[in-house]
Amino acid sequence: MSTSTARSTPGSILITNIGELSTQDETRGRTVLQDAAVVFEGERISWIGAAADAPPADEMVDAGGRAGLPGWVDSHTHLVFAGDRGAEFEARMAGESYAAGGIAVTTEATRAATDYDLTRLLLARVAEAAAGGTTYLETKTGYGLNVEEERRHARIASTVANQVTYLGAHLVPAGADAEDYTDLVCTGMLEAVLPYVQWADVFCETGAFTEDQSRRVLQAGRDAGLGLRVHGNQLGHGAGVRLAVEFGAASVDHVNHLTDDDVAALAGTWTQWNDAGPESDGTPGTVATCLPACDLSTRAPLAPARKLLDAGVQVALASNCNPGTSYTSSMNFCVATAVLQMGLTVQEALRAATFGGALALRVHTGQDRDGQRAVGSLAVGHRADLQLLNAPSAAHLAYRPGMPLTGAVWRAGQRLGLPPR
């Protein structure tokens, strides 16, 4: 079956002989195609179908029977940082418990770094993620914690990341009054970062921000016209999910400790969602973003992704790449963990790491927030983000965990140069 006329398009690229293609596009009636091909025209996908029916193109790439799938959409990272917290990790592995206060160590190092150094570090981390198949990602501020530094970090992030989230409400700086700092987050700091960010976030957790303070941050972000996200229910039961639902946040992230009421509340946000694929009708609800690499690094209980999916909640997987609790951008690792330890099937984990992340960032359709083409699924008209695995099926991500399976990556129709294996 083809989806465009069989003619050669100037500048087009045909990727053919794909043994298994996981599209995450449910409008086709099935999301996995065998013996498939894809045609790119510039930055967009112009054709998908059986390899035998593929139209001619200016350039052809033979996938050699390898598996293809959308580029990963990493919807939760903290990439603007300097310094190292390896000693903290080692101490945690020796039995010390994780607490939110470790952020202060990174704040000091990041404030001391120059613009050049922060930009260089951010570019290197995004390139490292891309080499692992990530073609679209969000990153946050939150290691500045004063007006000038938060503005600086937001500005630098906006030059590299696809989307930027304002997380001035990451931690109350040492010596600051919590109420006064929350006021600053909601006023002058917010105003300073506003030209560079699309989202506002808050770490609603014991040791970070209370329910009342978190509500003030979310209200200020909404009043400023930003989309909303919440760090919630990571260290224990709390108000994070409840606030995310109350404010219609696009996602609540971590979600390790959930009551049945929390799960039901999240499920209730999806009752109007017609899950018919990337062009689904209805307003998306609040995505539950699971961060398994962080859970393992902090020896926390893994987020209940299986329970959330069974309840009708849309789930995303993200790396939470940061220097303290999840120093990895490997979405392959997150997918393998979701399959091996969280009870997801291979296709459920792939969906969560692609379409689920796009849902969480509201870039799952052609009418996304910033006017770019939809990502997270392979469909005609969507952005040409594709990865090929050095494996015949996506199951090998969990079947052969930890192996360097990413073989080729295209982002917006451009093939990326990957480092040698």
Q: How far is CA 325 from CA 93, 242, 288, 289, 372, in A?
A: 11, 24, 19, 16, 31
pLDDT at res. 99: 61
- Residue extents of the structural domains in the chain: 12-71+376-415, 72-360
Element (H, E) at 256: none
- Beta-carbon contacts of 116 under 8 Å, excluding residues fewer than 6 positions away, are none
- Beta-carbon contacts of 129 under 8 Å, excluding residues fewer than 6 positions away, are 72, 74, 77, 137, 319, 321, 329, 331
Element (H, E) at 360: helix 355-361
Contact 28, 71 (CB under 8 A): no
- Provide the sign of the torsion angle of the four alpha carbons 319, 254, 306, 228, taken in this order: negative
Task: Please give the sequence-ordered ranges of beta strands (E in DSSP) within 279-328, or none if there are none.
Answer: 287-290, 315-317
- 277-293 pLDDT tens trace: 445 557 899 999 999 99
Contact 16, 54 (CB under 8 A): yes
The CATH fold of domain 12-71+376-415: Urease, subunit C; domain 1 (2.30.40)
- 99-134 pLDDT tens trace: 655 788 899 999 999 999 999 999 999 999 999 999
Residue 87 identity (one-letter amino acid) = A
pLDDT at res. 8: 44
Tokens of 376: 């997270």
Q: Do domains 12-71+376-415 and 72-360 have the same CATH topology?
A: no
- Provide the sign of the torsion angle of the four alpha carbons 9, 15, 21, 22, taken in this order: negative
Q: Is 1 exposed, middle or buried (0-12, 13-18, 19+ CB in 10 A)?
A: exposed
Question: The pTM is what?
Answer: 0.94
Residue labelled with tokens 């079956």: 1
Residue labelled with tokens 């609790």: 325
C-alpha 274/C-alpha 3 separation (Å) is 23
Low-confidence ranges of the chain (pLDDT < 50): 1-9, 277-278, 367-370
Decide if domain 72-360 falls under CATH 3.40.50.300: no
pLDDT at res. 40: 97
